[in-house]
A and B are shown apart, each in its own frame.
Chain A
Amino acid sequence: MKNRSFPLGFPIAASLIILFIILPILVTLLSVTLEGLLKTITDESVARSIGLTLFAAAIATVFGVLLGIPLSYIMARVNFPGKSLLAGVIDLPLIIPHTAAGIALLLVFGRQGILGKPFSELGLFFTDHLGGIVVGMMFVSLPLLINASREAFQSVSLELEQVARVDGASPWQVFWHITLPLSWRGILSGAITMWARGISEFGAVVILAYSPKTISVLLYERFQGFGLESTTPVAALLLLLVLFVFLILRWIENSLANEG
């Protein structure tokens, strides 16, 4: 330890802060029995709610990828006036309190909202429908995907693209055959982060769609209505689920780093 490169107090502070993160998760997981957990997994409304949550977050992510990737590419490759302002706009959902985001979305996608009203005439509803959940999840998690994809595109050599262009490839061909194959892992990792963030969203979703109940809303309602005892196994299950998604993410990121 003679040659330590950090002040003596740092490991103590570091351990404390790690404990701060780990302890609540550990206590929750340890406070449920395997039996309680199994009972929760087989609880029909919990299973349905988890299915709905994963599905809605996946739809949000698919929309995010389809509509967000072009924006990320522009942000990575094109310089234009007001670009840093636009980057700020993209980050806005990260700093807006999520309940406020929910209300803002309600004004747009609600039954009387500027988009919600015309959509409702087409039979497409958002409040208390799957669409509302998707919109809420998408709004708050989109910046994670856009920023990750932008970084992934930036890591692709500009020269490589230019060479292909000189050789007569169209911009679309360059994007499809050169840029995307070299950046898809970064985009995928951004997409999984977006998915995971969508799964955990509560504030914006509860305002737009109290039902059908996503797992966070169900958890909140059960805590309010039925007490801690019936809620803890659901919370533990949710933690396990997100930890699993997180492991996949880490695995992809590691394989990415190894290849890079």
Chain B
Amino acid sequence: MKKQFFGLLILELLVLLTACNPKEKIPLVVFAAGSLIQPFTDLEQAFEEKYPDINVQMEFHGSIQVMRHVTELHEDIDIVATADQALIPMLMYEVNMPGTDDPYADWFLSMANNRLAVAYTQRSKYANEITSENWWEILSRQDVKVGLSDPRFDALGYRQLMAFALAQDVYRKDNIFHSFISQQFSKEIHLVDMGDFKIIRIPEILETAKNSHIMMRGSSIALISLLEAGEIDYAFEYESVIKQHGLEMLSLPPTLNLGEEEFSNNYHKVTVQMDFRRFSTVDPVFIGEQITYGLTIPSNAPHPEEAALFIRFLYSEEGQSIMRRNAHPLIYPPTGDQLQNLPDELRDFLSLK
């Protein structure tokens, strides 16, 4: 009797465990840049309402981290959306899937643009003083707490450093970068400024120094709650994210906000380089350019058809309006790279040649 009871109990537990997995829904795994968290969460909801058989599973990280999950941790991912489209050719075109001669990706869509800006709140120190002329001086003050995202993990991390380097030309001062960064890290971030060619070098171990007025986190999105809690006074963020959170925004001059196509040549002046091998096969070098988000379906995606369906939804009237509502409009008509490799039905839908 008792034995039977235990047998039944175990059976019941197994039934319960399997019942916990919603019945036969197709999982669609989306890894996206942290700055896409709000629009993509809205998209997820709208998409699942339209396609109840698909369960979208979103995960958000710093853009470099998103790449790592595909090419280094070999996770099964259906869609990758990064805040820097250049990461896709650099890290996915160049890396073959284990045991094959095929790269992790061979096309991407240029999804959206963005601008770099400074986020703050009413109670931030010197909030009533800061302007697009003096921001770099205020952010360098020792009594001002500034949030940075880690340039080793996050696209905004290296972009904010680029902006500081470019500021030296805009404001005609050659110590802007140094006075902001100097003595804030236990190992220095170096800038070599040769006018039209500036190179920033990131050390492998990047830790803020004791009594530093900089607080660093793994991704820019993690700084928002610190800003809201009053832990930091200012943080570098994307314009879309600042608008989504209704924070105060200081716009930066177009010559350094990395957001305007016509200033691309100016952005190209600055390069960020890691002083260590960050990935097993690729040494990442980031060249300043207009901020453009990239989107692709990895070659090893377990559900490529559902992934294509999601991208169609993103570019549909509804998807576009969700992005617009989140202050992050899509680039339309769609463009991208090596689009001849796009899945046929997606290419047809997007009316691409």
Listed in ascending order, the chain A residues whose CB lies under 8 Å from chain B are 9, 45, 106-107, 110-112, 127-128, 210-213, 221, 224-225, 227-228
Contacts and interface: CB of A to CB of B under 8 A. Distances in A.
A226 B216 CA distance: 17
A180 to B, nearest CB: 38
B144 to A, nearest CB: 12
A224 B215 contact: no
A221 B229 contact: no
Given A110-B229, A111-B145, A127-B231, 5 more contacts: A45-B207, A110-B230, A110-B231, A221-B218, A224-B218
A218 to B, nearest CB: 10
A224 B153 contact: yes
Interface in B185-229: 205, 207-208, 210, 215-218, 229
A112 B230 contact: yes
B231 A227 contact: no
A127 B214 CA distance: 12
Contacts of A228: 73
A111 B231 contact: yes
B207 A112 contact: no
Given A227-B72, A227-B73, A211 B229 contact: no
B68 interface: yes
Contact of B217 (A9, A45, A210, A213): A210
Contacts, number: 47
Contact of A106 (B73, B152, B216, B229): B229
25 contacts: A9-B6, A45-B205, A106-B229, A106-B231, A107-B229, A110-B230, A111-B229, A111-B231, A112-B123, A112-B231, A127-B215, A127-B231, A128-B215, A210-B217, A211-B207, A211-B215, A211-B216, A212-B207, A221-B218, A224-B61, A224-B65, A225-B218, A227-B68, A227-B72, A227-B73
Nearest to A220: B218
Contacts of B215: 127-128, 210-211
Contacts of B217: 210
B235 to A, nearest CB: 14
Name the prevailing secondary structure of the A interface residues. Answer: loop
Most buried by A among B61, B150, B230, B231: B231
A107 B225 CA distance: 12
Interface of B: 6, 61, 65, 68, 72-73, 123, 145, 150, 152-153, 205, 207-208, 210, 215-218, 229-231
Given A224-B218, A225-B152, A227-B73, A213 B231 contact: no
Contacts of A112: 123, 229-231
A127 B232 CA distance: 10
A127 B147 CA distance: 13
A32 to B, nearest CB: 19
- Residue among A106, A107, A127, A224 with the most chain B CB within 10 A? A224
A248 B152 CA distance: 40
A204 to B, nearest CB: 15
Contacts of B153: 224-225
B230 A111 contact: yes
A177 B73 CA distance: 60
Nearest to B215: A128
A111 B233 CA distance: 11
Contacts of B123: 112
A241 B118 CA distance: 43
Contacts of B208: 128, 211
Contacts of A210: 215-217
Contacts of B152: 225
Lowest 3 A-B CB distances belong to which pairs?
A112-B230, A111-B231, A127-B231
A96 B72 CA distance: 35
A221 to B, nearest CB: 7
A225 B73 CA distance: 11
A215 B82 CA distance: 30
Contacts of B229: 106-107, 110-112
Nearest to B279: A227
A45 B123 CA distance: 35
A107 B72 CA distance: 37
Contacts of B72: 227
A220 B207 CA distance: 15
A122 B153 CA distance: 35
A203 to B, nearest CB: 15
Nearest to B123: A112
A213 B230 CA distance: 21
Contacts of A9: 6
Nearest to B6: A9
Contacts of A45: 205, 207
Contacts of B61: 224
Nearest to A49: B207
Given A106-B229, A211-B216, A225 B207 contact: no
